[in-house]
Structure 1
Amino acid sequence: MLSANIQAGSSTRGYHDYVARSWSHVLPAGNKRGSLDLIAQLAGQYDIVGLNEADPGSLRSGFTNQTQYLAQHGGFDYWSHQPNRRMAGVASSANGLLSKLEPIEVTDHALPGRISGRGVLLARFGSGDDGLMIAIAHLSLGANSRSVQLGFIAELLQDHRHAVLMGDFNCAVDRPEMQALFRNTRLQPPAFAVPTFPSWQPQRAIDHILISDGLGCSGARAMSAAQSDHLALSLELDVPDKALG
């Protein structure tokens, strides 16, 4: 599986681009389509992909639903998205799911926080207590808001023995709010940190794929998601057959 904050297809090659290329975050300029094609090539190598900051079809993306575009060009039969923040139709952001496996249910929930506009997308594979639950989230910058959001997510996942939580957490796993998540669910901290931000000189491990203790994994690594300011994070997940069907 793969988790990627794609920055709506925008290009950021250094901190100076946040200012010099700020127009690309609100206007349909730059080579966003080319970036999406590169991301689709990468995503297509995986069975399940979680997206953050995928534009669901606003001015800056040329009214292209980027999750749908990646599904079509990456070879995914199933996709879903959860639009979150909107800025007067000029720019919008979504969590997204791309899957080559058919989920039996997809739901979304608004996350609590001081500023509204973030959410968690849930996809269930398989049935009963052994089914696999995938959660995709993009958490707040502030620790207090993250703490409330992770508490909410913990309530959603606490009864699932086969669960995965992935996305842009905006914090490292050793933060106090993350420890509360681990105490209240079967999710486990990763064996080692994989820095993903900033993409041009990764120093912070803030994108994560967390799995429950009933699942096995290997091969965690970071790789370029076109020219996003985050590297994508991949993981090979060992899922029991009963969790998928």
Structure 2
Amino acid sequence: MTERRLTVLSCNIQAGSSTSRYRDYVTRGWSHVLPVGKHGSLEQIAELAQPFDIVGLQESDAGSLRSGFLNQTHFLAERGDFPYWTHQPNRSVGGIASSANGLLSRIAPTDVVDYPLPGRIKGRGVLLTRFGSGNEALAVAVAHLSLGVKSRQSQLAFIAELLADFPHAVLMGDFNTTADAPEMQALYRHTSLAPPSCAYPTFPSWKPERAIDHILTSRDIGCTGHRAIPAARSDHLALAVELSVPARAFGEAG
């Protein structure tokens, strides 16, 4: 079977803020409302992203006071020379701060749809991009799930229904839970997605203890080269992987 190699990165960029210890959430609280110091972090993230084929972003500011009214996904696409990009604004706090899922790609997508996710507190979403066409198309979804278990349960059930008919799928993002958590089982039961072969702690970035960021793939997609790497000074490490995707997912002979 002919395969196509793809390099994929998933990264919670914390809107370009810098956090290197827990007390920074308090002492550097101003960074969540002011743009100071973010440009350098974004340049580092763009450099990190540049070698990859597809990059999924979480907590990318869509253009508010804290980003200097800069669409951070667009900025990273330009700096990383990505010809295709899209984003899904999910939450805006009075023009002071906003948060979005984003996707950067070197491959032309055939379809992009964003969905709000259910949950007790609104402002979460999943961004679904399709590559190729027909029943064999590759689905790449980027999500940022809630902190609460009950909200995650409903969100994961929604995503499972969304991806149920895709034989080739990638779901990446900040799940705020481990890959073996009970609420994650809906994904493995109702979609082609499989649990990861190993977990990489990604949070907090300065002393990683919790594996809550994931790149999940369908069972027929090969995965190698897993690694967790710093994303400037975000409070999450980024995840990188190399995928072997059946060529028929892109409409190529296989």
- 1:102 maps onto 2:108 in alignment: yes
Structure 2: state its 5+ residue gaps.
Answer: 1-7
* Equivalent position of 1:182 in the other structure: 188
CA–CA distance in 1 between the matches of 2:179 and 2:137?
25
Code of the aligned partner of 2:182: P
Code of the aligned partner of 1:198: P
CA–CA distance in 1 between the matches of 2:196 and 2:144?
18
Counterpart secondary structure, 1:192: coil
Return the TM-score normalized by structure 1: 0.99
CA–CA distance in 1 between the matches of 2:242 and 2:69?
33
Deviations 1:50-97 (A, max 9, x none): 000000100000000000000000010000000011100000000000
Match of 1:63 among 55, 59, 69: 69
CA–CA distance in 1 between the matches of 2:242 and 2:45?
18
Note the C-alpha offset of 1:141. Answer: 0.1
CA–CA distance in 2 between the matches of 1:108 and 1:174?
26
CA–CA distance in 2 between the matches of 1:125 and 1:94?
21
Code of the aligned partner of 1:82: Q
- 1:163 maps onto 2:169 in alignment: yes
Q: How does 1:57-96 map to 2 (within 5 A)?
A: 57-96=63-102
Alignment RMSD: 0.6
Structure 1: state its 5+ residue gaps.
Answer: none
CA–CA distance in 2 between the matches of 1:205 and 1:184?
23
* Equivalent position of 1:121 in the other structure: 127
Match of 2:218 among 186, 204, 212: 212
Deviations 1:177-229 (A, max 9, x none): 00122111110000011000000000100000000112111111100000000
Aligned positions, number: 244
Return the TM-score normalized by structure 2: 0.95
Note the C-alpha offset of 1:244. Answer: 1.9
Give % identity. 66
Match of 1:17 among 10, 21, 24: 24
Note the C-alpha offset of 1:129. Answer: 1.1
